[in-house]
A and B are shown apart, each in its own frame.
Chain A
Amino acid sequence: MRISLGWLKKLISLSEGASAQQIAKLLTGLGLEVDSTVPVEWNCSRVVVGQIISAVQHSNADRLRVCQVSVGDRAEGGVPLQIVCGAPNARAGIKVAVALVGAKLPGGVEIKAAKLRGEESCGMLCSCDELRLNSSFSVEHGIIELAPDAPVGEDLAKYLGLPDTELEIEFTPNRGDCLSILGIAREIVAAESSVQWTEFGKKLLALMPPTGVLQAHDLVQVEVPELAPHYCLAKLKVNGRLATPDWMKMALISAGMRPVNLLVDITNYVMMEMGQPLHAFDAKKVNTPIVVRLNRSQETNLELLNHQTIELQPNSLVIADSTGPLALAGVMGGLSSAVSLDTDLIFLESAFFQREKISREVQGYSLSTDSSYRFERGVDYLLPPLAMQRAIDLFTTLAEGEVQAVQIAAAHEHLPVVSPFELNWARVVDMLGEDFVSMQEAQAILARLSVKVEQLEYGRFRLTPPSYRFDLQIEEDAIEEIARVVGYNKLAVEPIEAELSYQHLRGHSRDLNRLGDRLVSLGYSEAISYSFVDAKLQSQLGLDAKQLELANPIYHDSNVLRCSLWSGFLPLVQRNLQRSNEQLRLFELGRVFMRDSQAEASREGKARIRQPYHLAGVLTGDYAPKQWGEQVRAIDLYDLKNDLECVLDLGEEELDCREAALKGLHPGRAAQIYLKDQPIGYLGQLHPSLQEFLHLKQPVWLWEIDVEELFKIGARTCVNQEPSKYPKMVRDLALLVPCEICWQELKEMMRVSDGIPLVKVTPFDIYRGAELPEGYYGIAVRLLFRSKSETLTDQEVEAWIAQILDGLAQRAIKLRQ
């Protein structure tokens, strides 16, 4: 919300020296954060209020008029000035802004006496643009038209209250009471004992509800007093054709509002001034009585003031007449009963609506207005009749207003209850520390905030907050009040004294960090991608069965939650390849989301959702950058296996890979990863057809593991085995193996007997070629024998080799000659 310092100064006596920065600092320190202070500059001199006495057509120019302009007694010797003007709205009688000869305007323009096509011109009639005034102050194409009561001859800046400063304030939702000039003024007066209310400010505070013979009982019927416990309606005769005074226009503009017409402007002005939203109905467009009720039929459409038509929902709170709803209560009025220049009789509404009801309407219709914004945050429930009196005063003075009847419908049993609460001084000291404020000062602070303070016994108080402070309900609220008025930065600072704790070591956060560290050592960079992904891509990966859809995605291609980290990776690979980052090795550690199909079938029948941490990698391009001293080669599955063996901390174990089919992976190059016979993830090459579909110009490799499963299985247990003292024996064999036998099988076949101390079998060369018998591949294997109890002899080893070869021969595996 924006407020002007000038407006604030009408209510409180800020010293002349008080700069906008000081006020901003004060308010920010009180919790009303001033985002910015915007100076409303006035860079003109010798511009005064004038009145056009006559305006005649220039004899030599179609578009010019020759005006005689009065600028008062004091200026220019009291003689009317002749000024030539080209504005279409220059006409006799109107009050205008006159730049006198010698005036300086923004942009360095200096006004001189001149002849325009033969006619003398001693000054200039100005437009908003020329004076750098907000364009909504006066008609868009032409010179400024001031209100008829503008005093001729007065300095325009003084008349308009310029220069001024506007403060842009960001309010927290608990401070509905500050959404007005009055509210801000109250805060400043409470915090700064040197600031006093002005006479006008005191008058505002002393307003009384409208009284007298005009009390009516038949203007309004409140059917739902629990939702509208305080509803005031006044019937007023007015003159809608009168102009809004310039000070009011300037005030509205300073608050970021656009002047509309006098009747609307008065209601907006009172809302900004006192915080009470008001609404004026054109009484001649309403069939009395007015009823405050819930909407009955669902079909009713209501065309609102902003020309938007809403379909009213049943149980919406509406203001209706005998023909149907006129307004959405507390949110916006309807167009059919809107006031206009022709209006001469109005119903003026000033009400308190239940906060939650207005919040429901705002959400239900996705409609927020200055009015609903205030009602949601809480308007003083005692304010409606007082603000109504203020508006009546303004209508009377400015719009020839005359009250015909007033009805105040108050359902006291439904008004919010202000409950007193206790404050213990010991608690204040416990929370805020000692020595920053005395108990007496704290009492005084609360009293200045209009909190009623009663001492029950020494150090124990009963507090009763004022009706506008919905946020003061418990002891802690009062402690905050004391703290913020004293100033948070003056409060105590005390070191924490607490038990030592090793709780950190119990969680998984360290383990997660370690996984990341291992991958970084392996050359992977960490990616963090969005948790929401494209449903189509996820289903192409074959992962769509369990995916969860968002009700309100921010982008159409981010409409489901990822159930695999791969669905977030592929767009990253695309983007990086587009940017010529052709060699990629990324990992991500994050949660994925899926429906748990097993739990869903369980007896509860209730869908359960899993959100485990997954760890995944994506690799593409060469194994290493092209460089001196190294052969270039592409990444393959065996690189992934090594990475996973490191990540999973398998020690000297090999990764347990078993053949698997997954829609998104190459059928011949995919595997499921097992740890202690539990499946924990997948690895493989992205399916070439998907690679092509995504326009990826090179093969992409992926792996992913379920970290939750990994942690469940637990860390590898390490038990020392004394290393053998005896020498090892190494033998190499070149074998011819039928193609259908894989390494895993071959390896197991070689372990023919537990009696043979075969410690390790390693393949060190694999070849396929036409010179081999058909259906065979060649493999060179190194066997390592080592006993823990004795030195092996050549004869023993030869015998074992023969035994192994015998076993292999049964599966048609033979030695290569």
Chain B
Amino acid sequence: MEEMSLEAANLVAVVTEELESIDKLPQLDVLKSKYLGKQGLLTDKLRGLSSLPPEQRSAMGAQLNDIKQQLFALFTTKESAIKEQAVIASLAADKIDITLPARCAMRGHLHPISKMRRMLEEFFVCMGFAVVDGPELEDDFHNFTALNTPPYHPARSMHDTFYLKDDELTLRSQTSSVQIRALETMDLPLRVVCPGRVFRRDSDATHSPMFHQMELLMVDRKASFAQLRWLIFKFVEYLFGADIECRFRPSYFPFTEPSAEVDIKWHNADGSARWLELGGCGMVHPNVLRYANVSPKEYHGFAFGFGLDRLAMVYYDISDIRRLYENDAEFLAQF
């Protein structure tokens, strides 16, 4: 009895030692059946319990069962360890080079002017303005006369305008023409912005014969220069942050009175600063309202127009306006 008990207690140490050299599931199975299988050593011993005297049987039985539990635990732990090793090995084999470049067709980019335009549209749409559009081939009435610039007005010489050969039409020299179109077709009160192409016969590093403007118009029973200033300050803050300096100075446009130019203090990369002209604005001239059959007694309005190209050039640090229209794929891919 003593001998049997000692031998059984030893089993745990023996199995522990044997398990150490095993790293595969089949080997583990073999070992498991050697001790715990039908013919296993421990199974034999349990079977031998019946041959013991009854007074020893119970104590011996408890001891053997305890050993059996211990062996089971040893095998289970070993089994998990082997499986875990297998998973680790398999994952290691799956490893790929995550630094290889993406598989791709082509990547598309919006033109910087479009990016700028959309950024501004978003601002004005949030402020309750509708984005509208007008013809680029425009008649003299909408491009000039209705904007309080009758024929032979000296302000006409501010733009060198393109004309059609066989029709009395011009390529619009300013998006302000859409002011009239909007007033003619939309209900009052109205708040609109109109981005678009404009054309002037001029070409060098800072002038392109075609460029883009955005025109803003608000007409309501109460519209004031003070509100216009508020809107422009918000606009500048949105684009350039709250710290940027912004000034208004008197100017002249035939279709606004009072008129102003808006400048921002632009800080160059080298630390120097300069006033940069952002655009022109003012209260809609009563004659313009009259041309569009709106009573200047009942309604007032303000307008603001600015160049998108110049803004995009400042924003993206483009020094030559011609770059915008060469459409070099490498240039476009930056935006």
Contacts and interface: CB of A to CB of B under 8 A. Distances in A.
A593 B210 CA distance: 15
Interface stretch (B4-12, B64-72, B76-84, B122-130): B122-130
Contact of B324 (A523, A528, A628): A528
A575 B326 contact: yes
Interface string B294-326: 000000100000000000000000000000111
B227 A494 contact: yes
Interface string B119-162: 00100010111111101110000000000000011110110001
B226 A494 contact: yes
Contacts of A499: 189
Interface in A78-125: none
A561 B138 CA distance: 13
A357 to B, nearest CB: 9
A298 B263 CA distance: 50
A402 B204 CA distance: 52
A425 interface: no
A28 B249 contact: yes
A527 B111 contact: yes
Contacts of B203: 554
A590 B137 CA distance: 13
B35 interface: no
Nearest to B161: A552
B248 interface: yes
A758 B165 CA distance: 59
A554 B203 CA distance: 8
B229 A523 contact: no
A211 interface: no
A601 to B, nearest CB: 17
B125 A504 contact: yes
A359 B152 contact: yes
Q: Most A CB atoms within 10 A — which of B118, B162, B199?
A: B162
Contacts of B199: 531
Interface in A482-520: 483-484, 488-489, 491-501, 503-504, 506-510, 513, 516, 519-520
B227 A584 contact: no
A572 interface: yes
Interface stretch (A3-11, A44-52, A170-178, A286-294): A170-178
A607 B155 contact: no
What band does the interface of chain B fall in when counting residues whose beta carbon is under 8 Å from A?
Answer: 35 or more
Contacts of B329: 525, 576, 579, 581, 583-584, 586
Contacts of B109: 520, 525-526
A360 B154 CA distance: 10
Q: Which of B190, B220, B226, B229 has the most CB of A within 10 A?
A: B226
A531 B136 CA distance: 10
B166 A548 contact: yes
B137 to A, nearest CB: 5
Contacts of B171: 531-532, 550, 561
Interface string A607-628: 1010100000000000111011
Contacts of A488: 247-250, 260
A471 B288 CA distance: 16
Contacts of B108: 519-526, 585
B112 to A, nearest CB: 9
A50 B163 CA distance: 61
B222 interface: yes
A507 B157 contact: no
Contact of B226 (A476, A492, A525): A492
Contacts of A510: 131
B110 interface: yes
Contact of A495 (B158, B230, B258): B230
Contact of A579 (B155, B209, B250, B328): B328
A430 interface: yes
Interface string B99-116: 011011111111101100
Contacts of B23: none
B103 A630 contact: yes
Nearest to A510: B131
B226 A507 contact: no
B190 A503 contact: yes
B46 interface: no
Residue from B106, B230, B233, B326 with most neighbouring chain A CB atoms (10 Å):
B106
Interface in A419-442: 430-433
B136 A479 contact: no
Contacts of A743: none
A488 B246 CA distance: 11
A298 B260 CA distance: 45
B166 A552 contact: no
Contacts of A28: 249
B103 A433 contact: no
Most chain-B CB neighbours within 10 Å: which of A174, A508, A529?
A: A174
Contacts of A554: 162, 201-203, 209
B327 A527 contact: yes
Interface string B190-204: 111000010101110
A715 interface: no
Contacts of B225: 431-433, 483, 491
B105 to A, nearest CB: 4
A552 B164 CA distance: 8
A509 B107 CA distance: 24
A393 interface: no
Contacts of B153: 173, 359
B213 interface: no
Interface stretch (A29-37, A128-136, A788-796): A29-37
Contacts of A527: 111, 327, 332
Residue with the highest number of chain A CB atoms closer than 10 Å, among B190, B257, B260: B257
A611 B252 contact: no
Contact of A359 (B133, B154, B191): B154
Contacts of B279: none
Nearest to A629: B103
B259 interface: yes
Given A516-B114, A530-B210, A561 B227 contact: no
A593 B137 CA distance: 8
B165 A551 contact: yes
A498 B332 contact: no
A552 B103 contact: no
A377 interface: yes
A609 B260 CA distance: 36
A192 interface: no
Contacts of A363: 152
A520 B330 contact: no
A520 B285 CA distance: 42
B293 interface: no
A583 B121 contact: no
B325 A506 contact: no
Contact of A611 (B125, B137, B258): B137
17 contacts: A33-B251, A172-B251, A174-B155, A432-B225, A484-B250, A493-B229, A508-B133, A523-B107, A525-B332, A526-B108, A526-B110, A528-B113, A528-B324, A550-B171, A551-B164, A552-B163, A581-B328
10 tightest A-B CB contacts, nearest first = A31-B250, A523-B106, A172-B252, A480-B258, A503-B130, A433-B226, A520-B108, A509-B131, A488-B248, A484-B250
Interface of B: 100-101, 103-111, 113-114, 118, 121, 125, 127-133, 135-137, 152-155, 157-158, 162-167, 169, 171, 186, 189-192, 197, 199, 201-203, 209-210, 218, 220, 222, 224-227, 229-231, 233, 247-252, 257-261, 283, 285-286, 300, 324-330, 332-333
Interface of A: 28-31, 33, 172-175, 355-356, 359-360, 363, 376-377, 430-433, 471, 474, 476-477, 479-480, 483-484, 488-489, 491-501, 503-504, 506-510, 513, 516, 519-532, 548-554, 558, 561, 572, 575-576, 579, 581, 583-586, 590-591, 593, 607, 609, 611, 623-625, 627-630
Given A513-B121, A528-B111, 11 more contacts: A483-B258, A493-B226, A504-B131, A528-B324, A550-B162, A572-B326, A572-B327, A575-B326, A607-B167, A627-B103, A628-B103
